[in-house]
Amino acid sequence: MVEQGKILINEHVGKDIWRMELKAPWIAQKARPGQFVNVRLTEHTDPLLRRPISLHGIDADNGIICFLYLVVGKGTKIMSELENGDSLDLLGPLGNGFSTAFQGKRAVLIGGGIGSAPLYPLMEMLKAQKKSVTLIYGAKDQDSIVCLDLYKENQAEVIITTEDGSAGEKGFVTAPFEALLRNESVNYVYACGPSAMLRAVEELTLKYGVDGEISTEANMGCGLGVCLSCSTPGRDGKNRKVCTDGPVFKMGELAYE
Amino acid sequence: MSKVKTAVKIGTLTVKNPVTTASGTFGSGLEMREYVDLRKLGAITVKGTTLKSRAGNPLPRCTETPSGTLNSIGLENPGVDVFVADILPQVAAYETPIIVNIAGSEIPEYGRLAEILENEDAVSALEANVSCPNVKSGGMALGTDPDLVYQVTKLVKENTSKPVIVKLSPNVTDIVSIAKAAEEGGADGLNLINSVLGLAIDIEHKRPALGNIVGGLSGPAIKPIALRMVYQTAQAVTIPIIGLGGIVSWQDAIEFLMAGATAVGIGTGNFLDPATTMKVVDGIEKYLEDHGFSDIHEIIGIAWKGQNAGKEGCHVCSE
């Protein structure tokens, strides 16, 4: 479905990180945590392709969706310059989304940098199902950590790591994650972030025998499963389309190169 | 129902309007059902099919360039047997003609593919892909040599009774000589153009942006190249041309028809707006009505035939 979303808020919230709220009732009604929206940034042809942006907020009751996005190139720069009241051409919701039907109560959510974005609606859904949630949030530095209050308001336990030690533990998400796996009962793990992080998290879950899901990304052409630009090999030798088979995959499903 | 006649013929295949899809940008059509009324398309041109399944090229396979995208998918597909058994019957349910794009890594494979698909009533026409820039053997290596294009075309024709379209590469010095070779080989139509060979470099990683190094450029960036090739070729051959390359609007499509294309294909335009094909179908019809034309053939090639030439009928499909 293509929906013209109306921008309600577009604010700078951290280093190169922006947060946008849009009125988009149809998508807000249909979307599930882990899905994404393919955003067209101009009616002209440059930039040509839509930009896949994960859903950071899904408010079906009020018909509002939220993006948390990192300004990395031409497309996201244009996005950051849009103003309240502007409309944005949205194609979605796309992709499969997270599943929350796991056995047990305790979920660990791991976000690396802007990869934390889709974890927030997931946490809300898990909390609504009375699960207990721990978020391990890794970033380069303190300025790159955003929207923490949202998690704390929902009484999620939050563990911060930064590469430079300017906030939380110095280092990567893997150290506190392995400590949790070793010392506590963890029923299910969700992770989203850079591929090196996903790979390390996945190795740990396989080592400790815990199931979970990762949300991944790839350069996309269409977002609809037709162009095969994002086709990624699985461990079974078959390709997966990140856009329609994913972006969420089971731990151990994808083959890392 | 409009009074304007928009039906065109490619060989023995009549399509109700001149709009089809570019192979590899529309899947089998089934993926696009939410956005497109498949019954409203002139024809569906499905993703390239090979004898055996292909995994495609390493990632990244796609990068954006100004008004274009550079891709190196590498003909990922499940192979012709899976296509025929699992996909074709579902697409056939929409009763829109299906054009199957076939690609071989050696010339005999084109004949074998034609032979396999000959048994499938749901297949309306074959499109021999001698122009894929992203495979190491076959593909573009065939499409840049007139003798090989002739051989492939002739072989496919010998193995099928269905109309045969040959999809040509723009990565040649003289498109007309290649087009004539396909016509001499017995082609019922031509599809031009495939993507233009290009390169992008990722300056942060200091290496080519695509895993395959080079890729095919598509999108509005290549439209003038495609139009020029259609314009030249249409004047040199008597078989119909499906024109494509950067069509994102009905206005673009009208340009291709005026350059001499009998039909048009939408490729990258599907990614910008999944309903592009529908808008092009409606837009062509409205343009014809608004400008007092009663039949689409009146504007085919009008840019070189002149204003009155179309009224006397179309030499291409004798309508």
pLDDT single digits (tens) B184-236 = 999 999 999 999 999 999 999 999 999 999 999 999 999 999 999 999 999 99
Question: What is chain A's mean pLDDT, rounded?
Answer: 95
The yes-or-no verdict on residue A257 having pLDDT over 80 is: no
B128 touches B90 (CB < 8 A)? no
Nearest-CA residue of chain A relative to B47?
A: A226
CATH of the domain at B185: 3.20.20.70
Assigned domain for B240 exists: yes
All residues of chain A having their beta carbon less than 8 Å from the beta carbon of residue B62 are 219-221, 227, 229-230
All residues of chain A having their beta carbon less than 8 Å from the beta carbon of residue B275 are 2
pLDDT of residue A256: 75
CA distance B108 to B122: 23
Put simply, whether B96 touches A (Cβ < 8 Å) is: no
B196-202's contacts with Cβ under 8 Å and 24+ in sequence apart are B196/B133, B196/B170, B196/B171, B196/B222, B196/B225, B197/B133, B197/B140, B197/B171, B198/B65, B198/B70, B199/B70, B200/B63, B200/B65, B200/B70, B202/B63
In CATH, the architecture of A2-94 is: Beta Barrel (2.40)
Put simply, whether B49 touches A (Cβ < 8 Å) is: no
- Shortest distance, CA B74 to any CA of chain A (angstroms): 9
Put simply, whether B270 touches A (Cβ < 8 Å) is: yes
Nearest-CA residue of chain B relative to A244?
A: B31
| Total structural domains within chain B | 1
Active site residue B132: yes
Q: Which tokens hold the place of B249? A: 């609007």
Domain A106-215 coded CATH 3.40.50.80: yes
Assigned domain for B38 exists: yes
Burial class (CB in 10 A: 0-12, 13-18, 19+), A246: buried
pLDDT of residue A202: 96
pLDDT of residue A180: 96
All residues of chain A having their beta carbon less than 8 Å from the beta carbon of residue B274 are 2, 91, 222, 224
B272/A229 touch (CB, cutoff 8 Å), yes or no: no
Put simply, whether A228 touches B (Cβ < 8 Å) is: yes
**pLDDT tens readout for residues A179-206:** 999 999 999 999 999 999 999 999 999 9
Assigned domain for B256 exists: yes
In chain B, which stretches have pLDDT less than 50? Answer: 310, 319
Domain holding B249, by residue range, is: 8-59+73-196+217-312
All residues of chain B having their beta carbon less than 8 Å from the beta carbon of residue A257 are 58
Compute the C-alpha angle B188/B243/B74, nearest 5°: 90
Each domain of chain A, given as residue ranges in start order, spans: 2-94, 106-215
CB < 8 Å from A in window 1-30 of B: 24-27
Assigned domain for B65 exists: no
What ipTM was reported for this prediction? 0.92
Closest partner residue to A40 (CB to CB) among B35, B63, B272 is B272
pLDDT mean over A43-68? 97
**pLDDT tens readout for residues B249-288:** 999 999 999 999 999 999 999 999 999 999 999 999 999 9
